[in-house]
Amino acid sequence: MSVDPSLESLVADAKTWRRDIHRHPELLYDVERTAGFVAEQLMAFGCDEVATGLGRTGVVGVIQGRRGESSRTIGLRADMDALPIHETTNLPYQSSVPGKMHACGHDGHTAMLLGASRYLAQTRNFKGTVVVIFQPAEEGGGGAKAMLDDGLMERFGVAQVFGMHNMPRLPIGAFAIRKGPVLAAADRFTIDIEGLGGHAAYPHRCRDPIFAGAQIVSALQSIVSRGVDPIDSCVVSVAFFNAGTTDNVIPQTAQLRGTIRAFLEDTRAFAGRRLSEIAKGVGAALGVTVEVDLRRGYPPTLNHAEETDLAAATARKIVGEENVKTNTPPMMASEDFSFMLEARPGAFIMVGNGDSADLHDPKYDFNDAALPYGMSYWVQLAESALAS
């Protein structure tokens, strides 16, 4: 691994920061403690400017280079929020807040970018400007869009933007990236069914919303299996089915909730349209009323070609060509960094988290062994992108 010795000396501090953040998880936009800690550190590092309150609780640090005049500015982004999951790792530094934990590694992302920020503020071995972006509410809150809506790119003159996420089962010391679609769009739906409740002994006097809901769940599977080109990728998953209160009453209502995932906009639109048509059609056939609420979420995460090449070349400098996958398969998970990639050219890369539990698993933990690789990537990316 090609890491400057002075950067390696920051690993112990980054580990301390990461574990402290892990012990104090915060959700969505309510990341006041984490954001306050980040802002305090950036000011202590000597950043030229530290701005708070973008996207409600986002933090931005500005670091000017020393290698001559340049107007070029790049953005490096990390996310800060945790998840509403009860941690079961039993680690010494596990979450101190019941029902909340860093189950996606945002504690590690924040620590890696903090370590890189400290190094870049000390060395300033680049031209132009590095803008470090610490974002709230990635986990379903659209914090990236909130920061964009507050003028992030225009205020700081960001021309290119880069993101990074840890990846379980990718070895420590490895990176993965691809051009084009790397993560899917994610939309959410709610299907409300109203029938006619009554005694379970007399189902013929009722219009059973549970039976209708079961038929809708089954029929929705035809969207992908019989409506989407097999070469394309799409997921329609019902993840919530709620109805009834006891065993001898047919309820009046039922509710389904779920997600649609796709890479192509046409496929995304088709799946949403068919979901509504099928649900209402089944409802009409069975004599129940069906209402569908489809909420568009994060767009697909699409890496730009030039910036992907730069990211891959940077990773190869650190870990060698054999440890950088440049055509990793696209994944059906989603990321609100996609909004930033719609606003500016950039790239999103995965860094190995080793043999860990999956993301969003109550036994997940960010692997501290990944810290020096992530910090080194950020530093060398900034120095390479702003070398001339």
By annotation, the residues acting in catalysis are 81, 138
Q: Measured between alpha carbons, how far is 38 from 40 in angstroms, rounded to an integer?
A: 5
User: Cβ neighbours of residue 12 under 8 Å, at least 6 residues apart?
Assistant: none
Q: What is the DSSP letter of 66?
A: S
Residue pair 163/348 in contact by the 8 Å Cβ criterion: yes
**305, burial (CB in 10 Å: exposed 0-12, middle 13-18, buried 19+):** exposed
Residue pair 29/143 in contact by the 8 Å Cβ criterion: yes
What are the residue ranges of helices labelled H in 325-370?
Answer: 337-343
Q: Measured between alpha carbons, how far is 139 from 202 in angstroms, rounded to an integer?
A: 45
Residue pair 340/146 in contact by the 8 Å Cβ criterion: no
User: Cβ neighbours of residue 320 under 8 Å, at least 6 residues apart?
Assistant: none
Q: Measured between alpha carbons, how far is 286 from 216 in angstroms, rounded to an integer?
A: 10
Q: Measured between alpha carbons, how far is 90 from 107 in angstroms, rounded to an integer?
A: 17
